[in-house]
Chain A
Amino acid sequence: MDLLIAAMLTIITAATPLLYAALGELVAEKSGVLNLGVEGMILLGAVCGFAAVTFTGNAAAGIAAGALGGAALSSVFALLALGLQASQVATGLALTIFGTGLSALLGQDLVGAAYDGLPKLAVPLLSEIPLAGALLFHHDILVYGSLALPAAVAWFLTRTRAGLVLRAVGDSHEVAHAMGYPVIRIRCLATLFGGACAGLAGAYLSLAYSPLWIENMSAGRGWIALALVVFATWRPWRALAGAYLFGGITIAQLHAQALGVAIPSQIMSMLPYLATIAVLVLISRDKSKIKRNAPACIGRAFHPSS
């Protein structure tokens, strides 16, 4: 039983960064922005968060720095792809290349530094419940946040006027512009939100998941998060389900070894990537489903003058 709880706890820790990154990207994509720089933003968030914690010793500063780092990099994307209308695909790729290099550069003195992880916040009383207490109510703040985020995003998108406007901008920027909505400003905000979420995902990696900094520590999670958005057909709750599914696959390797299954670790490590491909195929094969759910303007540059 303890083994089961331990396994489920590791699934939660593996799913949390994916969930942050995927939800941030989901909001950006809903507004019509395809930012392929998630991987770079996660890395920058991770290094910023870890650096802040190393220098201040304050967990809250680390989390804030992670979010700011991701948002700062996404503002470069906003400037180029939204402000100057450069190709979103090319800008996103540049963001990942740049973010990978910059995080490695910033983090060169942090390699080997130690941090003992975000403090766990036990919910009074509830955490005392056997099994469920340990599983659900004894986590760090970022895990609680990641569980609240889908609800917040879903509520924002469907119930608030700002969310409605954001969806409208993603559906047709020409029409939204003609109706007087500030397309570029809305997309910039969505992009910044996506960047901050990716930064939080990075902060979780370097502050909680494996509290240390190593180059390229995100190991493709940014790209998996992008695939998760497609998997979720742009719906927040499905992103939650997808993140936990992938979290389970990601840590399968640990438990296979613990159970003594003699499969090379590399094969187990391939699983999340292969699963991503499999899931993408399953979702994308129905063209009309993608078209119906995907924001119609995704990835298209908007020229306010025309």
Chain B
Amino acid sequence: MVYLSPLLALGISLVAGTVMFGAMGVPPGGALYAFFVEPLTSAYGWAELGVKAAPLLLIAVALAVGFRAGVWNIGAEGQLTLGAICGGGIALWLYRVDAAWVLPLMLAGGVLGGMAWAAIPAFLKTRFNTSEILTSLMLTYVAALLLSLLVHGPWRDPDGFNFPESRLFSDAATLPVILPGTRLHLGLPFALALAAAVWVMLSRSLVGFQIKVIGQAPAAGRYAGFSERATVWFCFALAGGAAGLAGIVEVSGPIGQLLPGISPGYGFTAIIVAFLGRLHPLGVALAACLLALSYLGGEAAQITLNLPLAVTGVFQGMLLFFLLACDVLILYRMRIRLRNRHPGKAAA
């Protein structure tokens, strides 16, 4: 039942997308094919799906934990950026070192960088009661400017013709490819492992129980003695760490250097992924694949059909709208049925 609504939302989005393509004067059949089928007609395309799905899954599965607890971290994009800055900084600092420990150090740096950035809204929320929605989002802009500052200034490639880019990472600082001939890197196994761990945590552990209780009924959480403060910290640390890891994985994998723009909005799209996946790790994994496909499709449609990249954003937004609408309609029907069965409360 709960998975009906994402499927329904997807179906309606496809219909709406068809209408949209028609309105733009593009033959809808061809556009949908280019968007959703063509990218998957080759093994390389499937690997690319994994490349795009990895950061989405990493971030979304961690965000889902926070959303379950009612912690609205929407600054994952900034935490991703900080992960890339910290991990990438280590790579640039050690670019002459050719040792096996460079990469793990970078990954750890990325995780810690993301966590540190996420710690700011967590601290402000727990200490000063400041809305985490606004602070985490503001910090996203600050992070983007910080990255821009670094690649325009101190970290600019001395041999890079003044382009705002860092030097390319050394081989020791590059994430190994796990499928030869493609760009599929270690990020995907990381993401799958995190999803599995979160699954176990949410369904079996006291921490997961605590998160669900605080999210659904904060007063019940206080009554049971669960700490809201600790939950806020935990959710931000988890999401920050995961986003930071996604950031360093991106720059040490597919990108290979630091650039002003390292993410096509993974941190924001992950919010959609989390909701589309019903805040459940398995659903999130499927949703991550779907939205990764929307990125691939957007790129493919840009090349083959000359459609703007913004189509991807529109499609993602529509998907979330329709999901929310379908959710409500389906849940509403369930609620009515629940009332039918247990009228005591309504009659009192």
| A interface with B by C-beta (< 8 Å) | 36, 76, 80, 84-87, 89-91, 93-95, 97-102, 104-105, 108, 215, 219-220, 223-224, 226-227, 230, 264, 266-267, 269-270, 273-274, 276-277, 280-281, 284-285, 287, 290
The smallest C-beta distance from B322 to any residue of chain A, in angstroms, reads 10
Shortest C-beta distance, A22 to chain B (Å), equals: 13
CB of A266 within 8 A of CB of B149, answer yes
Nearest B residue (CB) for A285 = B128
On whether A101 and B139 interact (CB within 8 A), knowing A86-B325, A94-B324, A285-B129, the answer reads no
- Do B317 and A102 have beta carbons less than 8 Å apart? yes
Residue numbers in A under 8 Å from B324 (CB-CB):
80, 84, 86-87, 90-91, 94
Q: Decide: B314 and A102 in contact? CB cutoff 8 A.
A: yes
CB-based contact A105/B130 at 8 Å: no
The answer to whether B329 has its CB under 8 Å from any CB of chain A is yes
Q: Given A98-B313, A266-B152 in contact, is the A104-B321 Cβ separation under 8 Å?
A: no
A104, A220, A269, A287: which contacts B313 (Cβ < 8 A)? A104
A215 to B310, CA, bound (A): 9
Contact B142 A97 (CB under 8 A): no
Whether B314 lies near A105 (C-beta < 8 A) is yes
Using known A-B contacts A80-B324, A284-B129, determine if residue A101 contacts B314 with beta carbons closer than 8 Å. Answer: yes
B135 within 8 A of A: yes
Q: Using Cβ atoms and an 8 Å threshold, which residues of chain A touch B210?
A: none
**SS class of chain B's interface: helix, strand, loop or mixed?**
helix
Closest to A87 in B: B324
**Is B310's CB under 8 angstroms from A94's CB?**
no
Complex alpha-carbon distance, A242 and B138, angstroms = 17
B170 at the interface (CB under 8 A from A): no
Complex alpha-carbon distance, A280 and B125, angstroms? 10
CA of A86 to CA of B327, assembled, Å: 8
Docked CA distance A93–B146 (Å) = 24
Contact yes or no, B317 A273, CB < 8 A:
no
Residues of chain B within 8 A of A224, CB atoms compared: 138
For A90, A219, A220, the residue with the greatest tally of chain B CB atoms inside 10 Å of its CB is: A90
Q: Is B145 an interface residue (CB 8 A)?
A: yes
Report B280 CB to chain A, min CB distance, Å: 16
Contacts of B318 in A (CB 8 A): 98
Q: Which of B82-90, B95-103, B231-239, B268-276 contacts A (4 or more CB under 8 A)?
A: B268-276
Known contacts A76-B321, A105-B308, A105-B311; is A97 also within 8 Å of B141 by CB? no
**Residues B145 and A266 in contact, CB atoms below 8 Å apart:** yes
Q: Which residues of B contact A (CB under 8 A)?
A: 72, 74, 124, 128-131, 133-135, 137-139, 141-142, 145-146, 148-149, 152-153, 268-269, 271-272, 275, 308-318, 320-321, 324-325, 327-329, 332
Q: Is the CB of B149 within 8 A of A223?
A: no
Task: Give chain B residues whose Cβ lies under 8 Å from the Cβ of A99.
Answer: 317
- Closest 7 A-B residue pairs measured CB to CB? A101-B313, A98-B317, A104-B310, A266-B149, A94-B320, A101-B314, A86-B324
Q: Are B314 and A281 in contact (CB under 8 A)?
A: no
Is the Cβ of A264 less than 8 Å from the Cβ of B133? no
Q: Known contacts A87-B324, A273-B141, A280-B135: does B311 contact A101 (CB below 8 Å)?
A: yes
Tell me the complex Cα distance, A84–B317, Å. Answer: 17
- Assess the B131–A90 pair: CB atoms within 8 A: no
Are B328 and A97 in touch, CB under 8 angstroms? Answer: no
Note all chain B residues with C-beta closer than 8 A to A93.
74, 271, 320
B136 to chain A, nearest CB (A): 10
CB-CB under 8 A from B269, the residues of chain A are 97
Residues of A within 8 A of B128 (CB): 281, 284-285
Pick 28 A–B contacts, CB within 8 A, sort by A: A84-B329, A85-B328, A85-B332, A86-B327, A87-B324, A89-B72, A90-B275, A93-B271, A97-B269, A98-B316, A98-B318, A99-B317, A100-B313, A101-B316, A102-B314, A105-B308, A105-B311, A215-B310, A266-B146, A266-B149, A267-B145, A270-B141, A270-B142, A273-B138, A273-B141, A274-B142, A280-B124, A281-B130
Residues of B within 8 A of A89 (CB): 72, 133
List residues of chain B with CB within 8 A of the CB of A76. 321
Q: B134, B152, B328: which contacts A280 (Cβ < 8 A)?
A: B134
Query: Complex: how many Å from CA A273 to CA B139?
Result: 7
In the complex, what distance in Å separates the CA atom of A105 from the CA atom of B146?
28
The answer to whether A101 touches B310 (Cβ under 8 A) is yes
- B295 CB → nearest A CB, Å: 12
Contact (A270, B145) CB under 8 Å given A98-B320, A101-B317, A276-B138: yes
Of the listed residues A76, A94, A102, A219, the one surrounded by the most CB atoms of chain B closer than 10 A to its CB is: A94
Q: A80-B325, A273-B138 are in contact. List 15 more A-B contacts (CB 8 A).
A: A36-B133, A76-B321, A84-B325, A84-B332, A85-B328, A94-B320, A95-B317, A98-B317, A105-B310, A264-B153, A266-B149, A270-B141, A277-B130, A280-B131, A281-B130
List the A side residues contacting B141 at CB < 8 Å.
219-220, 270, 273
Chain A residues contacting B74 (CB-CB under 8 Å) are 93
Shortest distance in angstroms between B46's beta carbon and chain A's nearest beta carbon? 26
Say which residue of A87, A94, A227, A277 sits within 8 Å of B321 (CB atoms). A94
Q: Are B145 and A223 in contact (CB under 8 A)?
A: no
> Whose C-beta in chain B lies nearest to the C-beta of A268?
B145
CB distance from A40 to the nearest CB of B (A): 8
Contact present for A284 and B138 (CB under 8 Å):
no
Report how far A267 CA is from B142 CA in the complex, Å. 9
* Distance from A49 Cβ to chain B, minimum over Cβ atoms (Å): 18
Complexed CA–CA distance, A10 and B184 (Å): 49
How far does the alpha carbon of A274 sit from the alpha carbon of B130 in the complex, in Å?
14
Question: A91 to chain B: which residues have CB within 8 Å?
Answer: 321, 324
- What is the minimal beta-carbon distance from B232 to any residue of chain A, in angstroms? 14
Q: In the complex, A94 Cα to B137 Cα: how many Å?
A: 15
